[in-house]
C-alpha cells in the first residue's frame, strides 16, 4: 500500500509530465496550422485552409463557405486557380501554389539570407533561371537588351528587399505583380537572348540602378506607380525605387 507522501509525489510527477506535454505539443500544433507550414490537400482542416479559402474567394476561384475545411468545393477552386495560373494541376496546395497565392512557404530552419540567395556570380538553380528568362521574355521582348537585363535585376532586387518575398518564384508569382503572369505571356518559351539577360543579371549587372518597380507609361493604369521615385528610362520602361 502506497504511503500518502508517495501518492502526492507520484501525482506531482504525473501532473508535471502532462504540463510539459501540453506546453510542448500545443505550440507545435498551432504552428502546423499557420499558412505555408505544410502542404494542404482535401480533408485537411485549420486556419491555413481558411486563409487559402479567403484568397481564392477574393480572386473569384472559390464560392463556398470560409470553413477551414478542405472539401470538394475547395479542391475545385484550387484546381481552377492552378490551371489558370499555369501551375501543375494537382489539387495540392504546395510551395508553388502558396507562392502564387502570395503566401511564402515557411520552414523550421532559418530563412535563407536574401543577399546570399542571389549573390552576383553565385548562380541560381535551373528552375529559377528559367523563371527569370520567362519573365524577361514575357515582360520585355522587343526591348533593348539592357532593358531586358534591367527587368531581371528588378526581380532580384525584390528578392533582396524586406518589402517582398525572398525567392525568385515567390516574387514572380505575387498576385498582380507582373502583367506577363496575369495575361499568360509568362508561359511562352523564352528566347536565348532572355536567358543571356537573366544570366547577366545574376552575375551582378543592374542597369535599373537598384529599381524595385518599373512600368510602361503608355499602358500603365495605376496612379500609384507614378508616385514612386524615378531612376531612369530604358526603352519603353521607367524604372523606379
pLDDT range class, residue 111, cuts 50, 70, 90: very low
Report pLDDT digits (tens) over 147-178.
999 999 999 999 999 999 989 999 999 988 99
Please tell me the predicted confidence (pLDDT) of residue 207.
92
CA atoms within 13 A on the CB side of 31: 10
pLDDT-wise least confident of 10-14, 179-183, 188-192: 10-14
The C-alpha cell at 183 is: 495575361
Q: Which CA distances in Å does 185 have to 17, 144, 181? A: 58, 18, 6
Task: Give a yes or no: residue 35 inside a domain.
Answer: no
- Name, of 28-32, 86-90, 122-126, 221-225, the range with top average pLDDT: 221-225
Give the integer Cα–Cα distance in Å for 65 and 69.
9
Judged against a pLDDT cut of 80, whether residue 113 lies above it is answered with no
Residues 149, 90 share a domain? no
Q: Are 61 and 166 in the same domain?
A: no
148 assigned to some structural domain: yes
CA-closest candidate to residue 132, choices 114, 116, 154, 111: 154
State how far the Cα of 57 lies from the Cα of 12, in Å rounded to an integer. Answer: 50
The contacts of residue 154 (CB under 8 Å, 6+ apart) are 208, 211, 212, 213, 214, 239
Residue 34 lies in a domain: no
CB 37 within 8 A of CB 4: no
Per-residue CA distances from 64 to 79, 102, 185 (Å): 14, 21, 30
Residue 74 shares a structural domain with residue 151: no
Q: Residue 79 falls within a domain, yes or no?
A: yes
pLDDT score of 57 more than 90: yes
Number of folded domains in the chain? 2
Q: Are 130 and 231 within one domain? A: yes
Q: Give the span between the Cα atoms of 145 and 7, in whole angstroms.
A: 81
Which of 100, 125, 145 finishes a domain?
100
Q: If DSSP codes are grouped into helix, strand and coil, which group holds residue 45?
A: strand
Residues 59 and 141 in one domain: no
Range of the domain at 87: 47-100
Residues 142, 69 share a domain: no
Instruction: Write the CATH number for 72.
Output: 1.10.101.10
179 with 234, same domain: the answer is yes
Do 94 and 53 belong to one domain? yes
Say how far apart CA 235 and CA 215 lie, in whole Å.
11
Same domain, 80 and 140: no
Amino acid at each position: 500500500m502506497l504511503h500518502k507522501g508517495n501518492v502526492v509525489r507520484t501525482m506531482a510527477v504525473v501532473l508535471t509530465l502532462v504540463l510539459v506535454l501540453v506546453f510542448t505539443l500545443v505550440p507545435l500544433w498551432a504552428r502546423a496550422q499557420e499558412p505555408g507550414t505544410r502542404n494542404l490537400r482535401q480533408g485537411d482542416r485549420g486556419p491555413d485552409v481558411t486563409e487559402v479559402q479567403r484568397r481564392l474567394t477574393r480572386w473569384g476561384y472559390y464560392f463556398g463557405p470560409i470553413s477551414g475545411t478542405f472539401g470538394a468545393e475547395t479542391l475545385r477552386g484550387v484546381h481552377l486557380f492552378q490551371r489558370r495560373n499555369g501551375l501543375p494541376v494537382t489539387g495540392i496546395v504546395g510551395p508553388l501554389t502558396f507562392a502564387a497565392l502570395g503566401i511564402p512557404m515557411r520552414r523550421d530552419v532559418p530563412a535563407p539570407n536574401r543577399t546570399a540567395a542571389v549573390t552576383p556570380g553565385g548562380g541560381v538553380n535551373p528552375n529559377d533561371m528559367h523563371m527569370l528568362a520567362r519573365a524577361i521574355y514575357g515582360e520585355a521582348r522587343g526591348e533593348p537588351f539592357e532593358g531586358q537585363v534591367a527587368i531581371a535585376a528588378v526581380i532580384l532586387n525584390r528578392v533582396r528587399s524586406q518589402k517582398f518575398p525572398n525567392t525568385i518564384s515567390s516574387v514572380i508569382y505575387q498576385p498582380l505583380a507582373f502583367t506577363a503572369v496575369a495575361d499568360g505571356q509568362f508561359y511562352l518559351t523564352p528566347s536565348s537572348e532572355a536567358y543571356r539577360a537573366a544570366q547577366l543579371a545574376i552575375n551582378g549587372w543592374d542597369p535599373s540602378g537598384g529599381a524595385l518597380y518599373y512600368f510602361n507609361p503608355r499602358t500603365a493604369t495605376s496612379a500609384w506607380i507614378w508616385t514612386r521615385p524615378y531612376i531612369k528610362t530604358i526603352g519603353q520602361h521607367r524604372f523606379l525605387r
